[in-house]
Structure 1
Amino acid sequence: MAAQLADRQLPDGWELVNSSGFARVAHNAEQRLFYKEFLPRSPLESVKATLRGSRATRARIHNDELRLAGFKAPQNIAWGALGSGAEYLISTAVPGHGVDDWLRRQLPPGDPSLFKKRRQLLSDLGQAVGRLHHTGFVHGDMRTGNVLADYRGGRFHFAYIDNERNSRHKVAPGKFVARNLMQLNMHTPQELSRSERWVFFQAWRRQMRELSETEANVLARESFAWAMRRLAAKGKLVTSQ
């Protein structure tokens, strides 16, 4: 099956899904599996792999680390090298939809009937990400599309995907935490209001007891400003902040 997928053939039940230019991803909904082929980012990638492990190896290790620590992440099923030199990883699908999908489509802003559930999503997300950071984990690309939310039992449960660039530390470095918070803030003011961001941050802050009030507030302000600068550079801000 991996050979077929690598040869650009799709076995029955498999379909390609959108991905970056450095990966090829297919999904089998019935079997609840994902196939990810890691395409070289640069000619130096093989050299880097000898020093810190290939991207596929790191993804597999970081999935396992998260799961062993009690966080939800894909379960590794099969992995290996292809004749082209690329590597692949087959893993289970985790339940839920990206937080970005919840914020934009399932719980769109401006609907009074969804106000309470939107706030719960952001509070539960803040608690989950705060616990992740408090445990020393930093996600390598914490866009809201890489955090899946599943609503059951009256609350949201979260899983982390695209974990190849994750890292774990005794204490999560502030600059890495700030980057994660910036990535989660990459929504326009029309999509996510300041008060909603504050709901997330307050829940996150309660998990990060090692930070002083001043340190936490600086992280909140700087990560928000950083995200707004990046959105402005991309031409996505329609009003100044």
Structure 2
Amino acid sequence: MANTPDKQEHYARLAEVLGRHELPEGWTLVGSSAYARVAADESTGVFYKEFLPRSPLERIKALVRGSRATRAREQNEALRDAGFQTPVNLAWGSLPGGREYLFSSAVPGTGVTSWLREELVSREGESLALRRQLLRQLGDFIGRMHAAGFTHGDLRTSNVLAERDGDNFQFYLIDNERNRRSTPAAGREVLRNLMQLNMLRPDDLSHRDRMRFFQCWRRQMSHLNEAEAKLLARESYRWAHRRLRRKGLV
């Protein structure tokens, strides 16, 4: 979709309508956090995200590190420049009351959570083989992301979309607003990402499933020694297990 002046004007008019909490024909609301409002037009594959101020200090913080909308755009572009699939930024701007908006393209695929809980539930035959392939390739993908210096701000499995292509999977990262990049990736943030991916119940993800993912992730992280890798595996699982237990899920 070309980023022409006419398109920019079209999106600006759409943002005015959506910013008044009205839904143009064909648009529907999508579940989001308390600090955002998200809508989608399935016919065109376009998403609208409105960033709602979290506190009166947000504008001051934005002067130092950029607004949430700016960070979302920049992180999408940084990942794409490094060869990772993310939504394409289409248009952005400001709304009354300190709000900002971002239009972006939809990406294909289904959240990894849904693949594990709904699509590949059976632990036998083709379903089992594809489930194992999904986890191995997810490990490769996240390992490449971390090896490139990126950590994701909220790496729950629903924020990684997977599209099946025969026996293989292509992955897409969404909700990239809080991502960070450093060389090498910050150890605490890598640990947090691994914990977030482990936040699935035992009936969703067995110990062997977790190890399949981790072994493939580990192969991409060649700068880690064995002691460091084992520490990350152990502590990320323990951290996730403590959180699951507090939520009453284990």
TM-score range, shorter chain: over 0.9
Gaps of 5+ in 1: none
Residue 42 of structure 1 corresponds to which residue in structure 2? 55
Residue 229 of structure 2 corresponds to which residue in structure 1? 216
State the 1:113 CA deviation: 4.3
Read off the aligned partner of 1:177 and give its amino acid letter.
V
Q: Does structure 1 conserve the Cα–Cα contact (< 8 Å) formed by 2:152 and 2:193?
A: yes
Task: From 163, 175, 189, give the equivalent of 1:162.
Answer: 175
Judged with a 3 Å threshold, the aligned counterparts in structure 2 of structure 1 residues 15 and 213 are, in CA distance, closer, same or farther, namely: same
Question: Alignment partner of 2:98: what SS?
Answer: coil
> What's the % identity of the aligned pairs?
57
Residue 231 of structure 1 corresponds to which residue in structure 2? 244
CA distance in 2 between counterparts of 1:157 and 1:181 reads: 20
Q: Does structure 2 conserve the Cα–Cα contact (< 8 Å) formed by 1:138 and 1:172?
A: yes
Residue 157 of structure 2 corresponds to which residue in structure 1? 144
Question: Alignment partner of 2:97: what SS?
Answer: coil
Q: Does structure 2 conserve the Cα–Cα contact (< 8 Å) formed by 1:109 and 1:191?
A: no
Please list the CA deviations of residues 154-201 of structure 1 after superposition, one character each: whole Å capped at 9, or x if unmatched: 311101110010011110011110000000000011110000000000
Q: Provide the aligned length of Structure 1 versus Structure 2.
A: 237
Task: From 106, 109, 112, give the equivalent of 1:93.
Answer: 106
1:107 counterpart = 2:127: no
Q: Does structure 1 conserve the Cα–Cα contact (< 8 Å) formed by 2:154 and 2:175?
A: yes
Judged with a 3 Å threshold, the aligned counterparts in structure 2 of structure 1 residues 107 and 50 are, in CA distance, closer, same or farther, namely: same
RMSD: 1.0
State the 1:75 CA deviation: 0.5
1:180 counterpart = 2:200: no
Runs of 4+ in 1 over 6 A off after TM superposition: none
Q: Does structure 2 conserve the Cα–Cα contact (< 8 Å) formed by 1:103 and 1:109?
A: no
Read off the aligned partner of 2:112 and give its amino acid letter.
V
Residue 131 of structure 2 corresponds to which residue in structure 1? 118
Q: Does structure 2 conserve the Cα–Cα contact (< 8 Å) formed by 1:109 and 1:192?
A: no
Residue 29 of structure 1 corresponds to which residue in structure 2? 42
Please list the CA deviations of residues 116-161 of structure 1 after superposition, one character each: whole Å capped at 9, or x if unmatched: 1100000000000000000000111101011110111431110111
Read off the aligned partner of 2:24 and give its amino acid letter.
P
Gaps of 5+ in 2: 1-13
Read off the aligned partner of 1:150 and give its amino acid letter.
E
TM-score under structure 2 normalisation? Answer: 0.93
CA distance in 2 between counterparts of 1:152 and 1:29 reads: 22
Q: Does structure 1 conserve the Cα–Cα contact (< 8 Å) formed by 2:133 and 2:167?
A: no
CA distance in 1 between counterparts of 2:68 and 2:80 reads: 18
CA distance in 2 between counterparts of 1:165 and 1:146 reads: 12
**Residues 69-84 of structure 1: pairs in structure 2 closer than 5 A:** 69-84=82-97
